[in-house]
Amino acid sequence: MSGRRGIDPVVRKETLRVGAIAYVGIALMLLVFFLLHTFCPKEVWDVPFDYTVVLGGVCCGIIDILNFFLMGLAVVKVTSLEPVTDEEGNPSDEDKSKARRIMSTSMRLRFLFMIVWCILAIVLPCFNPIAGILPLLFPTFGIKVLGLAKKSAD
């Protein structure tokens, strides 16, 4: 753990990148909502474009960033373990199971957190359910697209 406010620089850098990807995706989603709201006939499909869509997208972006950041903290916690290694440098089984335990606990808590958010997005009238849930998939999509772009550039 190093860097500003004790956050690992790798986690900070990747979280900023994922946040940027998520908000670019959310901006595109809002654009699609706006276009559908403007040009799609209301009797065919009444697409809303009001504060609920914007609020749902913005809050889901925060959830995306927080989810990735918490995952980053768990990963750094695991990689900061001082492994007890054998002669070949392999960590002991105890360290491996501790690493697995930390990650699965982190994932369980993050999923619980996302379940709570999704239920709130569906139940509360101040959030549009689609705009509140869809951005959960944007970071992964962005990472895959960037990975493919990097691969093709190489």
Partner 1 sequence: MDLLAKGIALMGCAIGAGLALIAGIGPGIGEGNAVAKALEAIGRQPECKSSVTSTMLLGCAVAETTGIYGFVTGLLLIFVAPGMFMDYLA
Residues interacting with partner 1, by CB under 8 A?
A: 8-11, 13-14, 18, 68, 71-72, 75-76, 78-79, 81, 83, 85, 88-91, 95-97, 99-104, 107-108, 111, 114-115, 118-119, 122, 129, 133, 136-137, 139-140, 143-144, 147
Q: How many angstroms separate the Cα of 96 from the Cα of each of 16, 72, 83, 102, 108?
A: 29, 18, 9, 10, 18
In angstroms, what is the minimal distance from the CB of 101 to partner 1? Answer: 8
* 15/53 with CB nearer partner 1: 15
Q: Which is nearer to partner 1, 24 or 97 (CB)?
A: 97
Q: Are 84 and 90 in contact (CB under 8 A)?
A: no
Shortest Å, Cβ 16 to partner 1 = 12
Q: What is the largest CA-CA distance in the chain?
A: 72
Closest CA to 133 of 21, 49, 52, 17: 52
